[in-house]
Amino acid sequence: MKLKDRVSVITGGGRGLGREMALAFAREGAGVVVCGTAGAALEEVAAEVRGRGGRSLAVVADVADEAAVARLVEAALAEFGQIDILVNNAGIIGPTADVTEVARADWDQTLAVNLTGAFLCARAVLPHMAARRQGKIINIASVAGHKGYPLRAPYAVSKWGMIGLSQTLAQEWGRYNIQVNTISPGPVRGERMAEVIRRRAEQSGRTVEETEREYVGRLALERFVEPGHVAATAVFLASSESDSVTGETIRVSSGFGLA
């Protein structure tokens, strides 16, 4: 098992990529702490991990709330005694609109959850990791963090920021044997992507089918990314196999932008 005897904290762990990574980490032997704001969904994931013989804890926490993040880390340490892996996966879609139509509140919320939340979680676990002279932080960005993304300015900015945060933390904390890396998924198959497409279709006056074809047309593999492929990349970055990898961004994108 690649993650035997390690403990992971996965934000946004109740659904989608978070759930997929939690199950993948558990299969590789890691204890899993899943956090988010939807308690029932988190408990389902934790129960699924335990039902398969794994160790798991569900913690309701808003990553944009500094006090809630502190409680999350305290709960993880109280339950497992250590944190070896942090996956900053929590995120929201944000508004789909021209920048002149984006409300300040929506901008602030998107940056608070998608970027400030990652900063707060990393800041909370880094001293513990440094004391043990080991740790892995995996930040989930997006291909939207590599180029402009019309109608999704807050989201794109938050993902550009996530890559910058990763590279900065990698430089600051490398001397403590802490590796910090980013995964940039392309369009991932699932409910979240379906909602992105629906909103863009509505905003642009096109059909959902036309909008979906537009996304697929930008993918070299001509298909959306499978969630399990992102999870497998996260397992690699969380394992000892990536001990010499830090400050890097791995695109799991079905060849987004190559087509």
What is the token pair recorded at 173? 């904390």
**Residue % of the chain over a pLDDT of 90:** 99
What is the token pair recorded at 137? 């932080």
- Please report which helix (H) or strand (E) contains residue 106, including its range: helix 104-111
Instruction: Report if residue 84 sits inside a domain.
Output: yes
Instruction: Report if residue 193 sits inside a domain.
Output: no
Instruction: Report if residue 200 sits inside a domain.
Output: no
Tell me which of 149, 155, 176, 215 is the catalytic residue. Answer: 155
52-73 pLDDT, tens digit each: 999 999 999 999 999 999 999 9
| Pairwise CA distance, residues 92 & 152, whole Å | 11
What is the token pair recorded at 67? 């006090």
| Pairwise CA distance, residues 72 & 49, whole Å | 19
Residue 220 pairs with which residues in a beta bridge? Answer: none
CATH of residue 142: 3.40.50.720
| Pairwise CA distance, residues 90 & 190, whole Å | 16
61: burial class by Cβ within 10 Å (0-12, 13-18, 19+)? buried
Residue 149 is among the residues annotated as catalytic for this protein: no
Give the number of C-alpha atoms closer than 13 A to the C-alpha of residue 32, restricted to the C-beta side: 36
Count of domains observed in the chain: 1
**pTM tops 0.95, yes or no:** yes
What pLDDT is attached to residue 168? 98
Instruction: Report if residue 137 sits inside a domain.
Output: yes
What is the token pair recorded at 73? 């880390």
Instruction: Report if residue 170 sits inside a domain.
Output: yes
122-181 pLDDT, tens digit each: 999 999 999 999 999 999 999 999 999 999 999 999 999 999 999 999 999 999 999 999
